[in-house]
Every structure is written in structure tokens, then in C-alpha cells.
A and B are shown apart, each in its own frame.
Chain A
């Protein structure tokens, strides 16, 4: 148990770093899609909810699991759809403007 927890802590810290370095490079242009994207991704708590709803650990846990699965699924389905809907709208001007996207990246 102890060793596993320590390993999990490593995973958390490293993932936090990866997140930090990736997200500081997302331009302000895409901050709304970023938020809906991370929201959809963190609906991965669906995984925990599924186990809870299906493990048959008594009526109350199953009921709570059912509600949790519902909530998380709302975010998975709605979140990925709306992120895609937003990203689909971002288009560049017709004529070529090389490295136009470059200017906004970099400084978070």
C-alpha cells in the first residue's frame, strides 16, 4: 500500500508537470475550448463510477454509482461534442498568412 501510494504520487506530480508545460503553450485564442476539453477529459472519473455502479456492493453504493455514471457520461458526451463544435469554427483567413498562429503561442 505504501509503495503504491508513493508511486501514485510520482504519477500525479509528473502528470502535473506535463500539464503545466503543455497548457502554458495553449494560446489565449483557444482558452474556452481548452477548458471544455480538460473538463471532458477529467470526466474520466467515469471509470471509477462504472466500477461502483457494477460491483454490486449494496443498494446505496449502486445507486450512487448510477448517479455518478450519469453525471460523468454527461460530461464525456457533451464535453467532447461541444469542444469539437468550437474547434470546428476556428478558421484561418482565406489568403495565406504564414506563421500567423505563431504570434499568439509561446507566452502564456
Chain B
């Protein structure tokens, strides 16, 4: 082993260790930042290790790519608002998958269109472009839906599932064929095309409320594609980093689907809410109690325990700062304010925590569902801001409801529930929410941000 190879291998080992330490640091919030800086250092070490390699003979395209990537990546890191985090993450899965897929395609092409590709290498290249290609288009679709370029409701057509599964099956069959006969460029490129199409048809029928599962799953695929790249070019640090990413995305998607009481298959092929059946129980004959900001403010001003339940509506209205302001006033009056975060609140795992942390809410006040559910019965006011399905009691007691069995926040146990909502339109799943008609529920209609500002003024005045 020449000193240079030794240096490169040492750099890769160091990078792998730093990546693992970085992820480990995320188990403790106070150490997380430092740990991720170590991981970034690991990345730098790996890059330096690579550019001194003998394989690299010219640098102009490398420098051009690094420069262009920095120019695009820097603003994506610095200026993207926290409310746009789901689409920001979705598009970054696409970039990761583009890199992995192109390396795979170029590798195949450069090895005489597969002439020099061994069976094992073909397996690695095949998985790499299969996962990579479907992640490229799938992530792009997810991004478009979250960004509002495409409608976020499920887009379905007749026989969609058959078409989707057919395309995927065909792509896998082509991969199997390539294993026996690697030098078959037509099959290879057809496989790439099929998985690109499959990515589109996979995400198209998935609604906005299911995005946390989809983003997590795409995260996992992007990781597996990176890992497969490592197998294809014989590089362990890629295998390790990709496996970490793959495991992470996989775990998150399990947590997310469990929080919705649904299986992967159901999320992917169930087209949740595609037929917004007027649900089991219709709202007819039930009355809604509207409340004025003045009355709501009085309740909040004298409450001892207030539990805030944020949902996607808070993110859309960008109302997190007003929430914090209101909480500060309640706390000044001697009350306690806690935040109940449902695992699938928002459009990606942990979205609400980031928004509230941005508004300077201390993280020890952000409570997970299991931690806070028993507290609701002690709460004087539960303040629901733009959350719907995660507080719908139908999940507990209506067997015919599509969300039956989903673990929910026990908001209805609070002495008083105040729901901030734009109008009486049903939520994403198109399901009527009994909570809104409850005896102890009062509805404060209007834009969440405007309503909260009014509440802040009123509480200040009282």
C-alpha cells in the first residue's frame, strides 16, 4: 500500500467514524450541534482524501461542479424558511439521488455499455439506478406537491395501482435479465426510464397529509442508492453513510406510519382521501359554538395550564411567533404553557418542533404525544392551531372512519378547547371532526396568525 492509498483509506475511516459520532450526538439536543459539525468535518476529510487519488487526472470539471454546487447549495441552506423545510428536504433527496444515479449510469456506460461489468457489479449498479431513478422523480413530485406547484390532494386515475406496480415489476424483471446478461444497454436504459416513471406514479396519488411517510421513505431510498454506489465502485465510506441514511429513513417511515395506524402499502397504494366520502357521521344537526377573540382571551388569561396543539395550519399561516408571544403573556400571568406535538403534525417528521424552536420556544416545553396525553384532563384550555386529523376523536370511537385506530391527542379531555380554524372545511382527509361540535369546544374562525395577534392584544389588555 502506497502512502497515498494509506492516506486515502485513513481519511475514509475517519470520515465514517465522524459520521456515526455526528448521528449519535443527535440523541442529546444539547450536544447535537457540535456533533454535526464533526460530521461536516468528516465530509471535508473524505473529499480531501478523494481528490488526491490517482484516479483523478483532471480537475477543471471537479472545480466547476464544486463551485456551482456551492453557489446553489449555500442559499438553500441559509435562506430557506423553516416553514418550507418539508419541500426543502424533498428536493435535497432528489439531488442526492441524481448524483447516485448518474454515477451508476456513467459507470455502466464507461465499462463498454456493460461489456466489462461482472454480475456482482451489475447487481450493485442495477440497485443503484433503480432506487436512484425512482427517488429522483418521486422526490421531485413530493417537492412539487409541498411547494404547491402541483395540487397536494391525491391525483388518481383508474387502474393506477396496476400501472404503478406493473412498471416496477417490469423494472425489476429487466434488472434480473441484466444480471444474466450485463452487456444489454437497451435493457439497462429501459430500466432507468421505467423507474423514473414509477417514481412519478408512486407519489402522484399520495395526499399532503401522508407526506411525512413519503419523505421518510424517499430518504431511505436515497440512502440505499448511495450505498449501492459504494458497492458498485468498491468504496466503504459510501456503503456506510448510505446504510446510515437508509436505516434512518426506514425507521422514520415506520414511526410515521405507526402514528397514523397505517401500513406502508396502505399509505402508498391506498390513495388516502381520494374519495372524500362524507365520512361515517355527517355534521348535520350538530351546532358549532363560535367564540370571539375577547372571550377566548379571558379564558386564556386566567388559565393555569394551557396546552397548545399545533398543526400544519400553523405552519401555513406562519403563526409560530404569535404563538410564542401569546404563551409569554400567559406565563406572565402565572400560567403554564406546554406544546403537544403529534408525530405526524405537519408535513414531515418533527416539523412542528423546528418551527416552535425557531420562535424561541424552549425545547423542554415541546412534549411528545405519549408524554402529554395524560395531561390534557388537567388542562384549563387546549388551544388547537390548524390541527385537525390528529385531534379527531373519530380515531378512537368511530369504527367506520378512515382514521379509526390512529393514535390521537386527547384534546377533548381538556376543560375547554379553543380551535383556531380558517373555516369549517373538513381537514385533509376530508373527514368531519366531531371535536369541533363538542360541548366544551369553541371555534375561533379566521386566519391563525390574525386570530393569535388579536388574542395577544386582548390578553395584554385584560
**Which of A's residues lie within 8 Å of B, judged by CB?**
1-2, 4-5, 8, 11-13, 15-16, 18-20, 22-58, 60-62, 64-94, 97, 100-101, 103-105, 107-108
Contacts and interface: CB of A to CB of B under 8 A. Distances in A.
Contact of B43 (A34, A41, A61, A107): A41
Interface string B230-271: 110111111111111111110110010000000000000000
B72 A92 contact: no
Interface of B: 15-16, 19-20, 22-24, 26-30, 32-33, 36-37, 39-40, 43, 46-47, 50-51, 53, 55-59, 61-62, 64-66, 68-70, 72-78, 80, 82, 85, 88-89, 92-93, 95-96, 98-100, 102-103, 105-107, 109-110, 118, 120, 215-216, 219, 222-223, 225-227, 229-231, 233-249, 251-252, 255, 341, 343, 348-351, 353-354, 357-358, 360, 362-368, 370-371
B32 A87 contact: yes
B76 A82 contact: yes
Contacts of B75: 78
25 contacts: A8-B239, A12-B240, A23-B244, A29-B353, A29-B368, A31-B349, A33-B32, A41-B22, A41-B39, A45-B100, A48-B233, A68-B65, A71-B99, A72-B95, A74-B69, A74-B72, A74-B73, A77-B73, A84-B40, A86-B85, A90-B32, A104-B367, A107-B370, A108-B251, A108-B255
Contact of B222 (A2, A39, A68): A39
B99 A72 contact: yes
Contact of A44 (B33, B93, B231, B241): B241
Nearest to A87: B33
A73 B74 CA distance: 10
A33 B99 contact: no
Which among B58, B62, B103, B360 has the highest number of chain A CB atoms within 10 Å?
B103
Contact of A93 (B55, B88, B110, B365): B365
